[in-house]
């Protein structure tokens, strides 16, 4: 089996990552390191370098080469072509403001796209258009390795999925599904905050030709109280800060493992 560790270089490595790493490396299978730098606006090279240095320091060993999504444009274009050949991709020029306005109920957990541009026939090559994939109604079933049986309907949750934004950045949902497929990942281990993404990623992968979905395991997040105990400061859960304060790698890893209990959620 093959799994992956997939941080986005939009910040430093923190305790949430280390908890994920404990689950990922704890699975006892091969691990690829995938740097999820698909969003050019939010990623920074110093975070990328810092994440690698902190992983090294913590002692997590991964298979080479390190894969960066920013270098895989050809792979994503090819995957998008597979979807286009099935007539599933269309251009969308909706702004965030219009989408927020069209929001059906204020309690909706996430913004569901209302299909506004589905049949407008806008050219995919136009300026400032995103690309969306038609999500037909229908449920995806999977058995989470930690949470048990799950049922999700992507068309009801998110509607037609954005795979490329209006600036030309590939979206997380798309590149994660493409890479998990193309890299032969058959075990995906991540925080429960991404649980709602799984049905749509399974759907996308099937549309791309993936016959068997990976196994998914969604684990609890690092709790805020634990983070506070570890760092005595709300924001200061960066590994590099703990390191600068004299923590050893073993202390960090042990602390994260034992901290995984009760308290408030901390953002990943």
In the complex, the residues that contact ligand GLU under the rule CB under 6 A are: 6-8, 36, 176, 190, 194, 268
Q: What is the spatial distance between Cα 59 and Cα 61, in angstroms, rounded to a whole number? A: 6
Q: Which is nearer to Zn ion, 108 or 128 (CB)?
A: 128
- How distant, in Å, are the alpha carbons of 21, 145, 190, 254 from that of 27? 10, 11, 12, 17
Residues 42-101 contacting Zn ion, CB under 5 A: 92, 94
Q: Which does 36 bind (CB under 5 to 8 A by kind): Zn ion, ligand GLU, none?
A: ligand GLU
Work out how close the CB of 193 gets to ligand GLU at its nearest, in angstroms, rounded to a whole number.
8
Closest CB 177 distance from Zn ion, rounded Å: 21
Task: Give the binding-site size for Zn ion (rule: CB under 5 A).
Answer: 4
Binding site partner of 203, from ligand GLU, Zn ion, none, Cβ cut-off 5-8 A by kind = none
Query: Do 242 and 231 meet the contact criterion of CB atoms below 8 Å apart?
Result: yes
Q: Give the up-direction half-sphere exposure of residue 197: CA atoms within 13 A in the CB hemisphere.
A: 18
Taking CB under 5 A as the criterion, the residue among 116, 182, 206, 240 binding Zn ion is: 116
Cβ closest to ligand GLU, residue 8 vs residue 129:
8
Taking the least distance from each CB to Zn ion, the nearer of 118 and 224 is: 118
Q: Which stretch binds Zn ion (CB under 5 A): 22-30, 117-125, 178-186, 214-222?
A: 117-125
What minimum distance in Å lies between the beta carbon of 116 and ligand GLU?
28
> Residue 10 CB, nearest distance to ligand GLU (Å)?
8
The Cα 67–Cα 117 span in angstroms is 34
CA distance 77 to 71: 12
């Amino acid at each position: 089996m093959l799994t992956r560790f997939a941080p986005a270089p939009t910040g430093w490595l923190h305790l949430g990552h280390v908890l994920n790493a404990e689950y990922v490396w704890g699975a006892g299978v091969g691990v690829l390191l995938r740097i999820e730098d698909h969003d050019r606006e939010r990623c920074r090279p110093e975070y990328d370098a810092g994440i690698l240095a902190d992983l090294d320091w913590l002692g997590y060993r991964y298979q080479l080469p390190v894969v960066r999504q920013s270098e895989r444009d050809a792979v994503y274009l090819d995957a998008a072509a597979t979807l286009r050949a099935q007539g599933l991709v269309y251009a969308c020029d909706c702004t965030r403001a219009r989408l927020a306005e069209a929001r059906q109920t204020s309690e909706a957990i996430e913004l569901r796209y209302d299909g506004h541009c589905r049949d407008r026939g806008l050219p995919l090559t136009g300026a400032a258009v995103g690309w969306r994939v038609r999500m037909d109604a229908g449920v995806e079933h999977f058995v989470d390795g930690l949470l048990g049986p799950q049922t999700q309907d992507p068309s009801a949750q998110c509607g037609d999925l954005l795979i490329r934004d209006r600036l030309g950045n590939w979206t997380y949902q798309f590149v994660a599904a493409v890479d998990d497929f193309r890299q032969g990942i058959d075990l995906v281990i991540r925080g429960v905050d991404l649980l709602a993404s799984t049905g749509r990623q399974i759907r996308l992968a099937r549309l791309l030709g993936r016959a068997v979905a990976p196994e998914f395991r969604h684990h609890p997040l690092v709790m805020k109280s634990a983070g506070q105990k570890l760092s005595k400061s709300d924001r200061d859960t960066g590994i590099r800060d703990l390191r600068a304060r004299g923590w050893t790698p073993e202390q960090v890893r042990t602390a994260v493992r034992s901290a995984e209990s009760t308290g408030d959620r901390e953002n990943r």
